[in-house]
Amino acid sequence: MTNRWEKMLNIDRRWLYLLIAIVVIVPFFIRMGLPVVPTQEVRSVYDLVDSLGPDDAIFIGWDFDPGTEAENMPMGVAVLRHAFARHVPVFITAVSPLGQGLAEQGVASVFDTRVPGNFVYVPWAEWESVREAGYVGRDSLESAWEAAGNPLPEGARGWVFEGVDYAHLGYLPYFSLVILGMGTSIANQYPTDAYGNNLHDMPMLQAHKNLREVDLAVTLAGSSACMWWILYGTSRVGLPVAFGVTAVMATDYFPYIQSGQVVGMMGGLRGAAEYEVLETEGGYTETTGKAYRGMDVQSLAHILIILLVILGNIAYFAGGFHKKTALKSRR
């Protein structure tokens, strides 16, 4: 009998990997649509973005590397989509070189017009003629752009004009000092954007010259770099900051929500899925995204892991391994 328990405790871990693989692959084809209930931490971020408009501005910090892309990317895409739908100007930054590339990927997925409900990107150079004719505001820009023979493609949700709705500032080293510098002037820290365009000329830079004129920074982080936004953004200029962090990091940052230093937090894939649900409920997207789809899988994988932990404990106690004598005899 004991031998059986021992065998169970010493099972080849590759069988467990196989079980996890089955549980992670199969639910993608059998969609269960288990409910994802948004928590207050995520709702706070959503509500703040939802209260903003074209006169406000937000920063989205792509402060992660490919290692945590699966968790952080859906958060970034969800917040970006929400901000674009409300015409909130978005500045994008990155604390690492790889983060800049990932930001470009994330933004490109929102600008992929093959997907219904996405946005059409108008690069800075492309709307130069409209700009030279006299830019007076976002609505007039959109009207002038369409009047110039640019109809909104079918299925697209709206236009995103570089320099008005969106600026990709890119990567700079020693980002903590960059945040400090942006407290005085964003354009001094980033004379050009990631594509070499002059930021001083961009309308959104003229309307939001420094972090004091920005309404929110959402940092999507896979490391403690997210704290720089609080250290130098919140503490110095009072910038509201929201976190989108990996699940591993989430528990570390709950105290900052309670203290009011962080507006809210998206923790891991679940946090991203909650944001997607809120967006769908708010009518900003027709369907939820990748994070929500992954939650069925997540739930089933958790059930399997819980079962395995329980089975392991049963084997441990039923086999008498909890007794010191039993352990000694097997050394």
214 contacts 239 by C-beta, under 8 angstroms: yes
Q: How far is the CB of 147 from other proteins (least distance, A)?
A: 34
C-alpha to C-alpha distances, 327 to 1, 8, 269, nearest whole angstrom = 16, 16, 40
Instruction: Please provide the size of the chain in residues.
Output: 331
Site residues (vs other proteins, CB under 8 A) = 14, 17, 20, 24-25, 28-29, 65-71, 73, 96-98, 100-101, 170-173, 176-177, 180, 191-192, 194, 227, 230-232, 234-236, 246-248, 250-252, 255, 258-261, 267-270, 290, 293-294, 297-298, 301-302, 305
Helix axes 97-110, 69-85, angle to 10 degrees: 50
Q: How far is the CB of 250 from other proteins (least distance, A)?
A: 5
Q: How far is the CB of 251 from other proteins (least distance, A)?
A: 5
Q: How far is the CB of 237 from other proteins (least distance, A)?
A: 11
Using DSSP, state whether 54 is helix, strand or coil. coil
Q: How far is the CB of 326 from other proteins (least distance, A)?
A: 25
Nearer to other proteins, 248 or 326 (CB): 248
Question: Residue 135, exposed/middle/buried by CB under 10 A (0-12, 13-18, 19+)?
Answer: middle
Nearer to other proteins, 309 or 326 (CB): 309
The H or E element spanning position 61 is strand 58-63
Nearer to other proteins, 98 or 207 (CB): 98
Nearer to other proteins, 52 or 250 (CB): 250
Joined tokens for residue 225: 């770099």
Nearer to other proteins, 115 or 327 (CB): 115
C-alpha to C-alpha distances, 25 to 22, 74, 86, 150, 298, nearest whole angstrom = 5, 19, 36, 43, 11
